Amino acid sequence: MSGLHLLLRFISLFVIFTSSFTLVVGLSGCHPDQIQALKQFKNEFDSRNCNQTDYLNGVQCDNATGAVTELQLPSGCLTGVLKPNSSLFHLRHLRHLNLSHNNFTSSSLPSEFSNLSRLEVLSLSSNSFIGQVPSLFSKLTWLNQLDLSHNQLTGSFQLVQNLTKLSILDLSYNHFSGAIPSSLLALPFLTRLDLSENYLTGSIEVLNSSSSLRHLSLSHNHFEGQILEPISNLITLKFLDISFLNISYPIDIKIFSSLKSLLKLVLSGNSISSTSLGSDSDVPLSLEKLGLSGCNIREFPNFLKSLHNLEYIDISNNKILGKVPEWLWSLPRLSTVTLLNNSFTGFEGSTEVLVNSSVRILDLALNHFKGPFPNPPNSLTVLSAWNNSFTGSIPLEICNQSKLALLDLSYNNFSGSIPRCLSNLQNSLIVVNLRKNNLEGSLPDNCHDGALLRTLDVGFNKLTGKLPRSLLNCSSLKFLSVDNNNIKDTFPFWLKGLPNLQAFTLRSNRFYGPISPPGQGPLEFPELRILEIADNKFTGSLPQDYFVNWKVMTEDGSLYMGDYNEIPGYIYEDTIDLQYKGLFMEQGKVLTSYATIDFSGNRLEGQIPESIGLLKTLIALNLSNNAFTGHIPLSLENVTELESLDLSRNQLSGTIPRGLGSLSFLAYISVAHNQLKGVIPQATQITGQPKSSFEGNVGLCGLPLEQSCFAPPTRQPKEEDEEEDEGLLNWKALVIGYGPGLLFGLLLAHVIASYRPKWFVKIVGPDKHMETDPVTLFMSMDSRWDSFNNKKSVESTM
């Protein structure tokens, strides 16, 4: 055995030994048979994503008996089928079992869970379990917490009557159907019940109004009967979510007046009775959070005026007209106000009406607000006012918000310059979106060391000057868009110093010069997913290794960058305008599973780099309207996720690679107006394109073009004197048509000439002499026959 083989074997044995040793050491307080069961359980699945240390950290054993009492797997640890004979069910002393967020593909819930009769906590959420809950689950009488949420479980759930110790039950996001059993709401210790996102129907019966239930969520079901009155008897409720119930009658909020302890009420997606919106409505005065989104409300709910404990109000997606009442901002504890997608036009009161408000999150987007923006509250963390008609300058008072994390004033009519004082907020600002306004001047130096900025979008304004080099200080920057301005600068190679930059668009500015780094090496943006530099004045060629360092696009798997969890209570999505599949469109959520390159509308030349084939996750590639030459890269067939390819209006030559026909996701392709030739690959996704995708290439043939790649036979000219034509010899026909049989023809001609000389004389004519070569005479006859056949062939196709 070679030294290399010995070394590899030693390493393999060492890894196995250390893995087992780590497992044993980590479970030093556990009995050997329990350790063996844990090892077997882990080995029953694909556990490559399972961190060994985390796996051990989730195991606890009883100090006296050595029995495993708690097993909590890390998320994504195991993949495979959970079988009834799993060694898991040998751990009969388990009291706490959490297998959530694994992938037990196509697994039914094994009835053997009933063997773990000492379980007190069982969490099986987000595991892809299917089928019905086994009836033997009713034997788990010590359970006080059961979580089966986010699976694909079906049927009714009638097994709870024996689970009398249940305190928390979560069956949400499944396919349960039927009515809610009356025994469920009668469980004496039940405090939290979540049945949302199922197919439950019927009515609800409350047998005991003195139950312990504090949290009830029934949202997104299909109840048909009267359920509101029984719910109003659950007087201990503090949280009630009955949004999107699909009931046919409007809800009168007054029905909840008996719920004196209610703190959070979500009625979104239901119709609300207009009579219950008045200031005299009797509603729970204890309410802190109220959700009324999509309730077909046409007037501002005046009963809010009496809710002095209100912290959160969502009345988005309604049809409310007019101005926001002044009294709203005087509610003493108000923190979050969402007025999104209504028809508000302004604010009652002066421009100072918001200043003294306690509001931290203010969402005014998708309304009809106009005029100057009022001075904002002093404690804002989120200000979203996109898609309105605000005018004037951006208020400088915004710079006084020391905790402002998100500023989105896009799609308005703001003018003037971008406030330079925004640099004062570098320790808090994460998102600045001023897209599609009328802002002028240059982009200010708003980035200093330690800045938290993730998104900067100033596209579609009237900005001039150059890109500020201070952007390098925003080391957290992921999304940078300055498209559709008048910025004049060279390509910012220096931005390679931003380690997290993933989306970058310079479209439609006045950028100029080469886009290849000095020295003609690869471009240094390893995390880049989106690069849009279309419609500028970039020149030069691209080296063959140009895309080598775009590592994130060369890796298989989904792409993700839109993570803004640092903004509590608000979800933000970056958007970008892309030329995609031949159309301009605004893309939301572009940062999830999306990669695109657009170099169109410049003056780039030379060959398209073969290294483009390394970008496996590329979805859209647009190199149109340049001066690229050479062939279409064969390596494009490796870009298997490609959906849109535009190489039109260049000077490309050669043929269209057949490999493009294997790109199964390719929905759009255009190679129009080049110098391509040959057969268009006859794959469905290519032949299904319009003719315009291939026009302007004289040498191309095949579908979808009308030009066939197989020319019909050439029609012979009509003989005017057949007798004279019989004596002519067509040497081209001789070489092409009769070359293979030349020897046989010579022999046959000699025989015929020897025995029938008079016949030849008659055919040739009286002015021909017998000295004529027999071979010539024979070929003359054959040429006549060939001419006759060609004539018939042409006539038959007419």
Q: For 216-255, how does the pLDDT look when each residue is reduced to its tens digit (9 = 90+)?
A: 999 999 887 678 888 988 999 999 999 998 787 889 998 8
Tokens of 549: 């360092």
| 479-481 and 512-514 beta bridge pairing | unpaired
- Predicted confidence band at 58 (pLDDT cuts at 50, 70, 90)? confident
Interatomic CA distance for residues 775 and 674, integer angstroms: 51
Q: Is the pLDDT of residue 739 over 60?
A: no
Per-residue DSSP letter, 718: P
User: What are residue 598's DSSP bridge partners?
Assistant: 532, 622
Q: What is the CATH number of domain 320-465?
A: 3.80.10.10
Q: Where are the beta strands (DSSP E) in 589-674?
A: 596-598, 603-607, 620-622, 627-630, 644-646, 651-654, 668-670
- For the stretch 530-572, pLDDT in tens is 999 999 999 999 999 999 988 777 665 444 445 555 677 788 8
Mean of the per-residue pLDDT values of the chain: 82
pLDDT number for residue 709: 85
Interatomic CA distance for residues 401 and 164, integer angstroms: 52
Tokens of 766: 């009286």
pLDDT number for residue 787: 38
Give residue limits of the domains in the chain. Answer: 26-155, 320-465, 478-701, 730-796
pLDDT number for residue 565: 57
Alpha carbons within 13 angstroms on the beta-carbon side of residue 760 total: 22
Tokens of 375: 């001075």
- For the stretch 60-97, pLDDT in tens is 999 889 999 999 988 888 889 999 999 999 999 999 99
478-701 belongs to CATH 3.80.10.10: yes
pLDDT number for residue 560: 42
Residues 572, 564 contacting (CB under 8 angstroms) = yes
Adjacency order of strands within the sheet including 413-417: 370-372, 389-392, 413-417, 438-442, 462-464
Residues 126-143, mean pLDDT to the nearest whole number: 92
* Residues 567, 571, 576, 578, CA torsion sign: positive
Which residues lie below 8 Å from residue 769, measured CB to CB, with a gap of 6+? none
Tokens of 189: 């210790």
Q: Do 478-701 and 320-465 have the same topology in CATH?
A: yes
Which bin fits 39, alpha (ψ -120 to 50), beta or left (φ > 0)?
alpha
Interatomic CA distance for residues 399 and 577, integer angstroms: 29
Tokens of 687: 């032949």
* Residues 137, 140, 141, 145, CA torsion sign: negative
Give kind and range of the element (H or E) at residue 35: helix 32-43
In 3-state terms the chain splits into helix, strand, coil percentages (rounded to 5) of 25, 20, 55
- For the stretch 695-728, pLDDT in tens is 999 999 998 998 888 755 545 444 444 433 333 2
Q: Identify residue 103 by its one-letter amino acid code.
A: N
pLDDT number for residue 777: 31
Q: How far is CA 105 from CA 46, 126, 155, 192, in A?
A: 11, 11, 19, 28
User: What are residue 324's DSSP bridge partners?
Assistant: 347
Nearest to 245 by CA among 287, 206, 208, 202: 202
Alpha carbons within 13 angstroms on the beta-carbon side of residue 167 total: 6
Q: Identify residue 105 by its one-letter amino acid code.
A: T
Residues 37, 90 contacting (CB under 8 angstroms) = yes
Taking the model in full, what pTM does it have? 0.80
pLDDT number for residue 441: 96
Query: DSSP labels for 193-220?
Result: EE--SSEE-S----S-TT----EEE--S
Domain 26-155 is classified in which CATH homologous superfamily?
Answer: Ribonuclease Inhibitor (3.80.10.10)
Interatomic CA distance for residues 573 and 571, integer angstroms: 7
Nearest to 404 by CA among 383, 376, 373: 383
Residues 409, 429 contacting (CB under 8 angstroms) = no
- Predicted confidence band at 114 (pLDDT cuts at 50, 70, 90)? very high
How far does Cα 429 stand from its chain's mean position?
Answer: 26
